[in-house]
Amino acid sequence: MKFIDANIILRYLTKDDAQKGQKCFELFQKIKNNEIEVTTCEAVITEIVDVLSSKKLYNLPRSEIYLLLLPILNLRGFKIPQKNIYIQALDMYASKNIDFEDALIFTHMKKRKIGQVYSYDNDFDSIEEIKRIEP
């Protein structure tokens, strides 16, 4: 198993460098065919979402980011712990007006059956399932 960084996934998705994009495509074909296994972490997925949504870079809509990342997360050779957390957070990010980081927090809370969050972030107020409290 090898770890995959955000820039590899971004090159694959954006093809902003033709040569690197092709090599990343070939890598993802191997991952898809389960010839190799890769893993990553929340920081990498979050960075990808941030870069793709950045107004200064790609400025992609949330729904498009969802459609780009979901197939990658579902690849057979893409092994990440708690994959469902990423997928649920990505779905929430695409369907509600909430940052991806907040969607990840909520998804972790939901899995652990935690109903309250200490935060000054008003975005949590839009999620009916949890109550935001301030210290």
Tell me whether residue 108 is in a domain: no
Residue type, 26: E
Q: Does a structural domain hold residue 17?
A: yes
Weakly modelled stretches of the chain, pLDDT under 50: none
* Per-residue pLDDT, 72: 95
pLDDT at 97: 81
pLDDT at 44: 95
In a domain, 91, yes or no: yes
- Residue 129 makes CB contacts below 8 A (sequence gap 6+) with 106, 110, 115
**Residue 130 resides in a domain:** no
In a domain, 121, yes or no: no
Q: How far apart are CA 83 and CA 128, in angstroms?
A: 24
What residues make up the domain containing 89? Answer: 2-98
Nearest to 128 by CA among 62, 109, 112, 22: 109
Query: What is the domain count for the chain?
Result: 1
**pLDDT tens digits, residue range 42-62?**
999 999 999 999 999 999 999
Q: What is the pLDDT of residue 89?
A: 96
Sign for the pseudo-dihedral over CA of 24, 47, 101, 54: negative
